C-alpha cells in the first residue's frame, strides 16, 4: 500500500513537504538503499549538502526509486568556504553533477561565514536561481540579523530558513522571525541527534499515545507548522518516523514538550561563523 504523502508548507511559490529525510554523513557513508527506503516510505523531500558527500548517493537513489523527479523536493547546500561568487557557482555545478540533476528544488547557504560579505554571496545565490539551477533559494544557520541582511541583499525571495530545532532547543524567536518574513522554518536535528530518546516526559507522552519518542518529537514540530528532516539508517525507523500524520498532540502535551528546552540544548555550534551569535 502506498503511504500517504506529507502535507506541504508554502512560501513565495514553493511547496515544501513538511516531513523530509536528512542525509548528513552516517557511519560507513550513505547507502543509496537508505534513501530508496525513505522514498518508498513516502518521503518526498530529501536534504543533502555538498559538505556531506552524500549527493551522488542521493542522486543514485532518486533514479533507482522509480519516483518521478518532479515529485521529489530536493535540497542541497553550498558550504561556508565557497560563499564568494566564483566559488559559489563552482560548488553549485559540482552538486548538480554529483546529483546528476539539472536543477535542485531548494539551494541553501549552508552556514554564514563572518569573513565573506553577504553582499557577495546573496547575488550569487539569486543568480543560481535565475539560471534555473535552483527552483527556490534560502539560508541555513542564520540568526535574525543575518537573515534580514540576506533578504535585503538578495534580488530573489528566500523561501526557507533551515536551523536546528527540537524539544531541547528554544527557537521561539527565530521561528517567529522566519514566519514574519514568510519563510518556511526547516528543523534540522529534529530528533536531537538521538539525545531525546531517554527523555521521561517524551516517553510518557509516547506511551500514552501508543507512539515512539521520535514520532512524538516530529509531531510536535509538524503541529507548529515547521518542516523537519529526520535521518535514520534503519529502514524500519525510516518508515516509522514518517507515521506522524495519524495522531494529534493536545495543548497540554505541546506545552509539556516545549518546556523541555534547556540552555545547553544546542548540538551544532561550530565557533565563529554566526556574527552576533544565536538568537
Ligand X SMILES: NC(=O)c1ccc[n+]([C@@H]2O[C@H](COP(=O)([O-])OP(=O)(O)OC[C@H]3O[C@@H](n4cnc5c(N)ncnc54)[C@H](OP(=O)(O)O)[C@@H]3O)[C@@H](O)[C@H]2O)c1
268 lies in the binding site for ligand X (CB under 6 A): yes
Q: Which stretch binds ligand X (CB under 6 A): 6-14, 17-25, 82-90, 170-178?
A: 17-25
Nearest 5°: CA angle at 67, between 63 and 69? 70
* CB contact at 8 A, 75 and 48: yes
Q: Which stretch binds ligand X (CB under 6 A): 19-27, 122-130, 199-207, 251-259?
A: 19-27
Nearest to 23 by CA among 126, 94, 124, 95: 95
29 lies in the binding site for ligand X (CB under 6 A): no
Q: Which of residues 44-63 bind ligand X (CB under 6 A)?
A: 47
**Site mask, ligand X, residues 110-139, x = CB under 6 A?**
x-----------------------------
Annotated catalytic residue within 52, 82, 165, 188: 52
5 lies in the binding site for ligand X (CB under 6 A): no
269 lies in the binding site for ligand X (CB under 6 A): no
How far CA 274 is from CA of 112, 116, 120, in Å, comes to: 6, 12, 17
From the number of C-beta atoms within 10 Å of its C-beta (0-12, 13-18, 19+), residue 40 rates as middle
3-state DSSP helix/strand/coil % of the chain, to nearest 5: 45, 20, 40
Nearest residue (CB) to ligand X, 157 versus 192: 192
Compute the distance between CA of residue 242 and CA of residue 21 in angstroms, rounded to an integer: 9
Compute the distance between CA of residue 77 and CA of residue 75 in angstroms, rounded to an integer: 7
User: Which residue has the closest beta carbon to ligand X?
Assistant: 22
Nearest residue (CB) to ligand X, 114 versus 234: 234
52 catalytic? Reply is yes
Distance of CA 4 to the CA centre of its chain: 20
Distance of CA 67 to the CA centre of its chain: 20
95 lies in the binding site for ligand X (CB under 6 A): no
Q: Which of residues 183-242 bind ligand X (CB under 6 A)?
A: 188-194, 197, 212, 214, 229-234, 237, 240-241
Positions touching ligand X (CB under 6 A) are: 22-24, 47, 110, 140-141, 162, 188-194, 197, 212, 214, 229-234, 237, 240-241, 268
Amino acid at each position: 500500500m502506498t503511504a500517504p504523502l506529507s502535507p506541504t508548507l508554502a512560501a513565495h511559490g514553493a511547496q515544501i513537504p513538511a516531513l523530509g529525510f536528512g542525509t548528513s554523513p552516517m557511519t560507513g557513508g550513505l547507502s543509496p538503499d537508505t534513501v530508496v527506503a525513505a522514498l518508498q516510505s513516502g518521503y518526498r523531500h530529501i536534504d543533502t549538502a555538498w559538505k556531506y558527500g552524500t549527493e551522488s548517493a542521493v542522486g543514485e537513489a532518486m533514479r533507482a526509486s522509480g519516483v518521478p523527479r518532479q515529485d521529489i523536493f530536493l535540497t542541497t547546500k553550498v558550504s561556508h568556504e565557497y560563499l564568494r561568487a566564483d566559488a559559489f557557482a563552482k560548488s553549485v555545478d559540482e552538486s548538480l553533477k554529483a546529483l546528476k540533476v539539472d536543477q535542485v528544488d531548494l539551494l541553501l547557504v549552508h552556514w554564514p561565514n563572518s569573513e565573506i560579505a553577504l553582499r557577495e554571496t546573496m547575488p550569487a545565490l539569486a543568480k543560481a536561481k535565475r539560471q534555473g539551477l535552483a527552483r527556490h533559494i534560502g539560508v541555513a544557520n542564520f540568526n535574525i540579523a543575518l537573515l534580514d541582511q540576506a533578504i535585503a541583499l538578495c534580488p530573489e525571495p528566500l523561501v526557507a530558513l533551515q536551523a536546528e530545532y527540537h524539544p531541547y532547543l528554544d527557537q521561539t524567536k527565530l521561528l517567529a522571525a522566519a514566519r514574519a518574513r514568510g519563510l518556511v522554518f526547516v528543523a534540522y536535528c529534529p530528533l536531537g541527534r538521538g539525545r531525546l530518546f531517554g527523555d521521561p516526559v517524551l516517553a510518557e507522552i509516547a506511551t500514552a499515545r501508543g507512539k515512539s519518542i521520535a514520532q512524538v518529537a516530529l509531531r510536535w514540530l509538524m503541529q507548529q507548522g515547521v518542516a523537519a528532516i529526520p535521518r535514520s539508517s534503519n529502514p524500519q525507523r525510516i518508515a516509522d518516523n514518517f507515521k506522524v500524520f495519524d495522531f494529534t498532540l493536545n495543548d497540554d502535551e505541546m506545552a509539556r514538550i516545549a518546556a523541555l528546552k534547556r540552555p545547553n540544548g544546542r548540538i551544532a555550534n561550530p565557533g565563529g561563523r554566526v556574527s552576533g551569535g544565536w538568537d
